[in-house]
Structure 1
């Protein structure tokens, strides 16, 4: 029998991407995503396995080891990528879970593909997990895995964590197969959410659609119990500080300011190109502030990084067109020769370049319409100048923890403009005081602490209703 593992992570993607080097040889490189960065710190030093899709359609590569982690690829066909991932995960679930900012699409064939792929993931986890192992399942793409895995391996301790919001019952109600999702999740021993409101939304849905008893944050299934509560994710603060403190990154931060003509203030936005991130609202606010004369295009520069995302989904193609049209309009109206008002980059950057941008930026604009957490806000706080300013949407999970930020409602364009101006014009000591408090929060609530809290809560989660519940402070 092949080697099995006491700790298994299951996520839609493996933590590596296959890339072809200049010499033509293929190699695996660590992915830039937030989940990978977070879990990398957790997996380090463990004899663990990671189950996920390798990123290419067709047969999966053979399992392999990378940086002390066993990687177990799960295959997806071209059709499954279209139906399970681009379809049900990102054109059905994602819009519903993000307040129906765009209208979701419901297709029975997509649901069938979602079920089939979840079953394959559950089987892969069952194959690599040792007797009594802990399996940690991640995110909205794998909501049926906990129950499927429990049927295959009742000996396992199963946890699930949702990186995105969980919708209010009124929105969740729209989902065909909503009961199937709730039952799938209740296969876990412990369910972690970004915010208390998300856990509450899940528990209300369970009460309403499965007619189960819920006491506090515990669901009574009769033969066992499941706990659902908030365990907000964070970042590897120490690792990021180490990147920031290198001479190269510090020099690059100075160079960025020089390249922009040493403006009075650099504003920065860093997002996946996603309609939940509020990029269009933010650009409109910036354009209006230039038009109002409150901002001067020679003194105030905006850098907007929009990382490519789900480029084959129509809503994302449309968004890219709209954003690029807005960028062109703003630069056409307000740029001077040799001095662009708005620098827009539709590409990914490595950790060092991002750290340099954070260090160079005076004001960070994190203004999603809805976000599970938003780790960029925490990364900026870790890297920015002592008098840096964070403008933060109240609809992010981060807003719960980062209360000293300049809070905004991104739907209210007039209010958003006022908050941006407040962050730009606030006295230096006000900005420093706020940032000092934010740094204190982010430096103590690290991703390592998050994982420790989550895994402690998973191990302590009630197995039967008669167990004492609610005693673990997660």
Structure 2
């Protein structure tokens, strides 16, 4: 059985016009792609760019994780260009309709070509705004990036921005090395510590800026009745057990399968943890990569069933299109540890959210005279990719202590 996706929404002309009217007061303009363009664009982004940007190369005629190998990329690359061109056209039109706009902020590799199209159109009027491209995904090594058929076009499109922003230095380093090895461009250190790539007399700056948790939203969720109810339900269901929580994308690179295999290895090799620990795993279903998601969902449900059949109920596994913030915060409150084991990943604030919530509760418990048990029970573990290694990381933390009692929600 396939996971429970939401039904696909088909928009009529009236729906599209209603969306335009609703967004107009916000000075926002929706862009609706033709069905064929949208379908091919999604295939190219999800089946070609996504694995490459996560440093994955496919070598067989089929890939279990990413779907069928695409032999003729031209129609899909054309759809990718078309989507970026439509977005650029809308931006240029907006620049003409609203004077005083001097900054464009573009997000992620799906919009890699937009800056080049905007610059080409605006160069004619000599009114090119400053453009920033922020990449929230990984950026691959030059060896992997150069396997892309339109690698030159992608790099030149990204370099049409004035600033290219990354979340980690490694991703920025991979980008600059790709510029040098693929395009033959030089990069150098600039005043202030930034690196830049020299592009036909322009200095394209590369920055490393980290995201942090949305503290106001987390604090509001911590005070909500829903988070309190979720925490209470989980604590009652698994009283006397150490609770390991996980929130991950239901896809191969999230490493959820490695996590569950590690948990199975722990139960096989350490009998003392049986009936004393439970893995509460929640997976997000994303619509863009259905083949990967369906394959991963089937495998994860099979592993969960195998563990529960062999050792009794030890894995609470569930999937949904979304797990809202209040639910996640409530689960954090009931958990003794967050276990996060991605094989490849871009931005994920889940571990930071967990640490912030547990630190807040720990401070409140201390100020109320609750002792230091919560601080000891709150842990966040990232795995090495080996099930025995992850199991070893889990086991010292998997035994609840008498003083490891969670404080009440405030």
TM-score (norm 1): 0.70
Q: Partner of 1:301: helix, strand, or coil?
A: strand
Question: Following superposition of structure 1 onto structure 2, how do residues 364-403 of structure 1 map, counting pairs within 5 Å?
Answer: 364-384=338-358, 386=362, 387=375, 388-393=377-382
The alpha carbon displacement at 1:71 in A equals 3.3
Is the aligned partner of 1:178 residue 2:154?
no
Q: 2:238 aligns with which of 234, 241, 261?
A: 261
Is the aligned partner of 1:150 residue 2:119?
yes
Q: Which has the higher helix share?
A: 2
Write out per-residue CA displacement over residues 335-360 of structure 1, whole angstroms, 9 at most, x where no aligned residue.
2xxxx311111112222111111111
The alpha carbon displacement at 1:228 in A equals 1.1
Write out per-residue CA displacement over residues 404-434 of structure 1, whole angstroms, 9 at most, x where no aligned residue.
xxxx31x22221111112333599999x9xx
Bigger drift between 417-426 and 348-357 goes to: 417-426
Distance 2:88 2:199 in 1: 21
Q: CA, structure 1 residues 218+373, in 2 after alignment: closer, same or farther (shift >3 Å)?
A: same
The alpha carbon displacement at 1:176 in A equals 0.5
Write out per-residue CA displacement over residues 237-290 of structure 1, whole angstroms, 9 at most, x where no aligned residue.
1221121123442343122211x2313311011012121110000000111111
The alpha carbon displacement at 1:57 in A equals 6.2
Write out per-residue CA displacement over residues 338-386 of structure 1, whole angstroms, 9 at most, x where no aligned residue.
xx31111111222211111111111101110011121111111122353
Give me the CA root mean square deviation. Answer: 2.8
Residue ranges of structure 2 left out of the alignment (5+ in a row): 1-5, 190-194, 363-374
Q: 1:118 aligns with which of 67, 70, 84?
A: 84
Q: CA, structure 1 residues 233+312, in 2 after alignment: closer, same or farther (shift >3 Å)?
A: closer
The alpha carbon displacement at 1:295 in A equals 5.8
Q: Partner of 2:106: helix, strand, or coil?
A: strand
Is the 2:265–2:388 Cα contact (8 Å) retained in structure 1? no
Distance 2:54 2:45 in 1: 12
Distance 1:100 1:56 in 2: 33
Is the 1:57–1:76 Cα contact (8 Å) retained in structure 2? no
Q: CA, structure 1 residues 151+412, in 2 after alignment: closer, same or farther (shift >3 Å)?
A: same
Question: Following superposition of structure 1 onto structure 2, how do residues 22-171 of structure 1 map, counting pairs within 5 Å?
Answer: 56=10, 60-61=16-17, 62-65=19-22, 69-85=26-42, 87-100=43-56, 105-106=69-70, 107-129=73-95, 130-131=98-99, 132-153=101-122, 154-171=127-144
Distance 2:119 2:403 in 1: 54
The alpha carbon displacement at 1:119 in A equals 0.6
Is the 1:391–1:419 Cα contact (8 Å) retained in structure 2? no
Is the 1:58–1:75 Cα contact (8 Å) retained in structure 2? no
The alpha carbon displacement at 1:333 in A equals 1.4
Distance 1:425 1:261 in 2: 13
Write out per-residue CA displacement over residues 108-127 of structure 1, whole angstroms, 9 at most, x where no aligned residue.
21111111101111111222
The alpha carbon displacement at 1:298 in A equals 2.6
Is the 1:57–1:78 Cα contact (8 Å) retained in structure 2? no
Q: Which has the higher strand share?
A: 1
Write out per-residue CA displacement over residues 96-141 of structure 1, whole angstroms, 9 at most, x where no aligned residue.
1112176574422111111110111111122224344311111121
Q: 2:299 aligns with which of 322, 333, 339?
A: 322
